[in-house]
Chains A and B, each alone.
Chain A
Amino acid sequence: MATHQIVQLPLVTAPLKARMRRNRLRVLLFLAPGLVGFTVFLIYPLVMTVWLSFTNSNMISQAQFVGLRNYRYLLDGDPLIWHAVRNTAWLVVIMVPAQVLFALGVAMVTARLKAGASLFRTLFYLPALAPPVAATVAFVCMFNPNSGPVNRILGLLGIHGPLWFNSPDWSKPALTLLALWGSGTMMVIFLAALLEVPAELYEAAELDGAGPWHRFRYVTLPTISPVVLFATVTGVIAGLQYFTQAMVASQVANGNIQPAPGYPDGSTLTFPQQLYIAGFNQFHAGYACALAVVLFVVAMAFTVVLLRRASGFDIEESPR
């Protein structure tokens, strides 16, 4: 054993070290593009955002350190931030699960179709190709309580349609309908996962007497769980960053040329919108950075919690 001790190592260290250094440099060289991109587009903005959140930056003149003032204003001073928090929370808790369930449901139906499957898959996917702004404008017009076709059809059925995007109670459900309509991308991902589930598993389950629910619960769901997790995590992050559709819908529904964030009655004001208004309309970039830091922390927390919870949702550990 003693002869195996590397007593001669110091003798070969010098050339080995040089080679190792060259190797390391080579590795660094190959890593450089990635490292530069990572630093430029992630680390630097992140560090700067955290720093600016402690300043009175307006992104034009020299920023001064103001301690926790922006965070205090967030908790105690901003009259609109809790509207924004509540609305964003609503979207994450209601809209995102609705979107996941709807996309999964549509994918399951189209996966089973024997005839016209391609046609239906295309039809359900098509809305995802519509630019969000155009889709939102079209949706607000369709749901116009005065002249839109939706309320007209509801009227024919004897139902007095709501004010949709013009009502604080209905604006978020209307945005949810828009999200469901445009969930084609999620549907396609689910569809791909569903088509990958081995048919023999279903056959075995059927032989064991499993009904449709049990086949879904014990065969389909465990197999596609990584995809469900992916859809949920990305959906939650998208929900936390929900901006364009809410911004456009409020302006179009208000009918005014000026942006009307939150119309009606603050019901569509989301956290990222409030961040944008603070940073770009009100010259409070420091405060906007504080909001961005909070958003980042919340998104991270959601992701970590979802990933941890998902360990019991994995195919290997799932009950059979």
Chain B
Amino acid sequence: MSDSRTARRTVAASLFAVTALLAAACTTGGAASKADTGADDTTPVTITFWHGLSSPHEIASVDAVLAKFHKKYPYITVKAVAAQTDDKVNQAIRGGTAPDVASSFNAANVGGWCSSGAFQDLTPDIKADHVDLSQIPKAVQSYTAFDGKRCTMPWLADTFGLYYNKKLFAKAGITSPPKTMSELAADAKKLTTFNADGSIKTAGFMPYLGAYEMLTEHLVPSWGGKWLTSDGQSNVGGDPAFAQALTWQKNLVDWFGAKKLVTFKAGMGDEFSAQNAFETGKLAMMVDGEWRNAFIKNDKADIEYGTAAVPAADGKSQLYGAGYVGGNVIGMPRGAKHPGAAWKLIKFLTTDTGALTTLADAIGNVPTTTAALDSPSLGLSKDPNFAPFLEVYKNPLTTTTPASGDGGAYLTNFGHFVEKWQSGGVPDLTAGLTAVDKQNNAALKLGQ
């Protein structure tokens, strides 16, 4: 009897020891530390930089900018690792093997990173080096920081505008791009053609939310909608802009017929391929990011097109020229081994005019400081199809989806709501939006 108890104790002790060892091994590693180089330390150091860019020309562009950095700081060598995802970054932070610097395409994660301490607050470095944040628009500042913590900096941005097919415009007798949402709807109807069986042959505009970049976040700035209140609560029910935008959108969906739009959407071709419906001439107008210019060029699309700001809601002409801005972020994960050198790289990549214009020109994104925007070396500003996107960036009424502690769950919840809405499953829009507010606020509380 006592022997079996001893055996059980032995087994229990072994299990406990293994579990304890594992528990120790699995706690989040890499506490914040800034133990290495100070500002004047020139001891040679190699830092690791993870970024998400993956195509050969993008990687080459980043490497060219990093070569400039190395020339400026010869004692800092940067080991760049391409095609990294946020999941990998998070996993490395948890495992205590985070790189010194990491960038992300997904600014929705900024809230979670700042509030959890996964990325370090850069405010002390910014203050110490007197970095002027006023050279970055307010909207851009709002998606790169959270709850008073600036844990990332913007590293190039994306703005959204209206692309239109000039040939189809001329054929329909339209002489200029629409400036109001009524004009957009009217032009869309004029530009649409149908097949003999009633299906859509060419869509003047694709109002179905979720098709390519036709997302509520890119549409609602035309009504001046604000997703969150100043104290971070969901605002989609409280701000009439959302109901107005969705009503406009649903009216246009109903004109086409939701089923016809879904069928057409299924055959639009992949967004980032040469089969993109705008590039093949099946879609006459669309809301898209500035990057489409580069894709149209790279895909050698046989299309004569123009760009403009997304039309403003009727009666809100002051919003014409503004739009949506989002973009890449870059920061220093917890556990960075060389924070001094890491900060130098972040500062260089996000505030050095030459670095910003070189990379912006190479990959066709919007540079993030006013100095870079106004720089004569920015080749993109000379492209008339790119210029509207730079103007959107500069416009003080341009808005964004602000950072939230739950990785932008408010957008996910809203996305599911609008799918129901546009397929006719929401009888009372106001009540529906109020319910979304409630859901969003419950999700925000969950992480607290």
Contacts and interface: CB of A to CB of B under 8 A. Distances in A.
Contacts of A168: 423
Contacts of A286: 446
Interface residues of A, number: 56
B413 A282 contact: no
A116 interface: no
B90 A280 contact: yes
Given A17-B3, A254-B210, A284-B446, A146 B266 contact: yes
A39 interface: yes
B212 A58 contact: no
B416 A253 contact: no
A262 B420 CA distance: 12
A145 interface: yes
A284 B406 contact: yes
B211 A266 contact: no
A255 B268 contact: yes
Interface stretch (B6-14, B60-68, B184-192): B6-14
A60 B259 CA distance: 44
Contacts of A163: 259, 262-263, 266
Contacts of B409: 281-282, 284
Nearest to B22: A44
Contacts of B442: 73, 77-78
B446 A73 contact: yes
B434 to A, nearest CB: 13
A35 B11 contact: yes
Nearest to B435: A79
Contact of A59 (B94, B415, B423, B443): B94
A282 B407 contact: yes
A260 B212 CA distance: 11
B18 A39 contact: yes
A32 B448 CA distance: 41
Interface string B414-448: 01100110010100000000011001001100111
Per DSSP, chain B at the interface is helix
Contact of A260 (B18, B210, B408): B210
A265 B210 contact: no
A81 B359 CA distance: 42
Contacts of B115: 283
Contacts of A5: none
B3 A146 contact: no
Interface string B254-280: 000001001111111111100000000
Given A60-B118, A283-B116, A43 B19 contact: yes
A260 B406 CA distance: 17
A54 interface: no
Interface residues of B, number: 61
Nearest to B15: A39
Contacts of A277: 412
A281 B416 contact: no
A253 B7 CA distance: 57
Interface in A151-174: 163, 166-168
Contacts of A167: 262
A217 interface: no
A136 interface: no
B340 interface: no
A78 B263 CA distance: 31
B246 to A, nearest CB: 16
A166 B446 CA distance: 32
Contacts of A260: 210, 415
Contact of A264 (B14, B116, B419): B419
Contacts of B408: 282
B77 interface: no
Contact of B112 (A47, A263, A282): A282
A264 B210 CA distance: 10
Given A60-B116, A70-B446, A283-B407, A256 B271 contact: yes
A69 B10 contact: no
B15 A43 contact: yes
B413 A79 contact: yes
B419 A61 contact: no
Interface string A7-25: 0000000000100110011
A80 interface: yes
A265 B266 contact: no
A99 interface: no
Contacts of B212: 255-256
A223 interface: no
Nearest to B87: A280
A256 B115 CA distance: 29
A296 to B, nearest CB: 18
A47 B22 CA distance: 12
Contacts of B6: 21, 24
Interface in B1-50: 3, 6-7, 10-11, 14-15, 18-19, 22-23, 26, 28
Interface centre among A77, A79, A284 (most CB of B within 10 A): A79
Given A144-B266, A260-B210, A47 B10 contact: no
Given A39-B22, A281-B412, 20 more contacts: A28-B14, A47-B19, A48-B23, A77-B446, A79-B435, A79-B436, A79-B439, A146-B264, A166-B265, A166-B266, A167-B262, A254-B210, A255-B268, A255-B271, A260-B415, A263-B210, A265-B416, A265-B425, A266-B419, A286-B446
13 contacts: A39-B19, A60-B117, A61-B28, A79-B439, A80-B412, A80-B413, A80-B416, A163-B262, A263-B210, A265-B420, A265-B423, A280-B87, A284-B447
Interface of A: 17, 20-21, 24-25, 28, 32, 35-36, 39-40, 43-44, 47-48, 56, 58-61, 69-70, 73, 77-80, 83, 144-147, 163, 166-168, 253-257, 260-266, 277, 280-284, 286-287
The 6 closest A-B pairs by CB, nearest first: A146-B267, A283-B112, A77-B442, A79-B439, A60-B116, A282-B407
